[in-house]
Amino acid sequence: MQSFRYSLLIILLSLIFFTGCNNSKHSDTVNTLISNVKNDFVPDSRVAIFDISVKKNSDYVVLKGETTLPEAKQALLDSLRNREIIVADSIDVLPDVSVGENYFALVNNSAANLRSEPKHSAQLATQAIMGMPLKVLKKQGGWYLVQTPEDYLSWVDGGGIERMDEESYSDWAASEKIIYLETYGFSYSNANRNSEKVSDLVAGSILKLKSGNGSYYNVEYPDGRSGYIHKSEARLLNDWESNISATHESLIETAKTMIGAPYLWGGTSTKGMDCSGFTKTIYFMNGQIIPRDASQQVKAGKLIDSNKDWDKLEVGDLIFFGREATDSRSRAVTHVGMWIGDNKFIHSASNVHISSVDPDSDIYDSFNTGRYLEARRYIDNWDGNIIPTNKMYTALVDVR
């Protein structure tokens, strides 16, 4: 079915521009074709790159740029060749040669700050938690363009990750690991909480297990450091993944552990989180990796309500807020929270707290209730790039 869709796309693109052209005189036509391929393959630039420019030569066109999607590049080249346009292909498919064979990485800090540009002053785009696997796509100075398991693109300082080749990454992925379950804590240099701290940890931190004797797990960091974590604060990852599931009870319990956590634009850890980072963290700690931003999360799961029919909602449903579409502007999803029942929802705004849609409640949130858009159900629904946590490491295997 996918090959049929691809073939049909090429035919349609070729027919669209059949009225075309001489090889050397139609860069505008080629630019339009590039735009059409991009629109088809990259509806969201936060999760894929297709940045292609065209230079006109006397007898052919030169295509330059980069993409994360080899299939998009091939669709463009095939459609051009179908029109008998001679092409000099200088399009790089990421990962770039600058990263060498180390095109895997693991997060080496409790929460690595991933930014919109390769500099510390750039906007915080998201965070990645200790032990999370990343694709490394290219290098610029001491920064790396990386992609998370849910495909989110951003830049990370090299100090926040440990880069690996495929063999080293595969060894890590296959190793026994633990997951940290407390909201916040530490690992120690010895099996004693009074010993020197190795690092801080946040909920969801994943580390390799070295041994598990006594009351502590002896763990290994991606960069080889060793530490000890009390067994009451963590669990064997395979055991946790086999038993965890998103239920009404587990989601509300997880969400309430983060009450009072500060709002942080771009944050997705228990140190601080924005609205969608909060809902993302809730679901991650219950076995699901969901899309990063509210405007992406609203495209996943199953639509439940769009008319403030609160009786339709169940605990765990994500509720979205923003601006409805008008004749002059499109709809904007700008906030998200999680329904917890009894006309209440929990969300990160200033800090994590509970609000109500009931006008008679002491915690009535008139502002957000007034801009409610819809509610979507994620429990037992996997549509829209929702990944089980037990697929987190294998999701990167097709990096090349």
Locate 246 and state its tokens: 């998103």
Here the CATH number for the domain that contains residue 236 is 2.30.30.40
Instruction: Choose one of 243, 274, 297: the last residue of a domain.
Output: 243
pTM for the full predicted model: 0.90
What pLDDT digit, counting tens, does each position of 155-214 carry? 999 999 999 999 999 999 999 999 999 999 999 999 999 999 999 999 999 999 999 989
Q: Is residue 283 part of a domain?
A: yes
Range(s) of the domain holding residue 35 = 2-93
The last residue of one of the domains, among 35, 69, 93, is 93
Side by side, the strands of the sheet bearing 153-157 are: 124-129, 111-115, 153-157, 143-147, 133-140, 104-107, 161-164
**Are 258 and 356 in the same domain?**
yes
Are residue 227 and residue 188 in the same domain, yes or no? yes
Q: Is 158 found in the same domain as 49?
A: no
- Which of 51, 78, 93 is the endpoint of a domain? 93
Does residue 222 fall inside a structural domain? yes
pLDDT score recorded for residue 44: 96
Which one, of 43, 81, 45, 36, lies nearest residue 66 by Cα?
45
Cα gap 148→156, rounded to integer Å = 11
Whether 375 and 281 map to the same domain: the answer is yes
Q: How far apart are CA 234 and CA 83, in angstroms?
A: 60
The predicted structure's pLDDT at residue 22? 46
Residue 237's identity, in one-letter code, is L
Residue 238 lies in a domain: yes
Residue segments in the chain with a per-residue pLDDT below the cut of 70: 1-27, 58, 397-400
Q: Note whether 322 and 383 are same-domain residues.
A: yes
Model confidence pLDDT, tens digit, residues 5-28 = 555 554 444 444 443 344 445 667
Task: Look at residues 241, 209, 202 and name the one whose alpha carbon lies nearest to residue 228.
Answer: 209
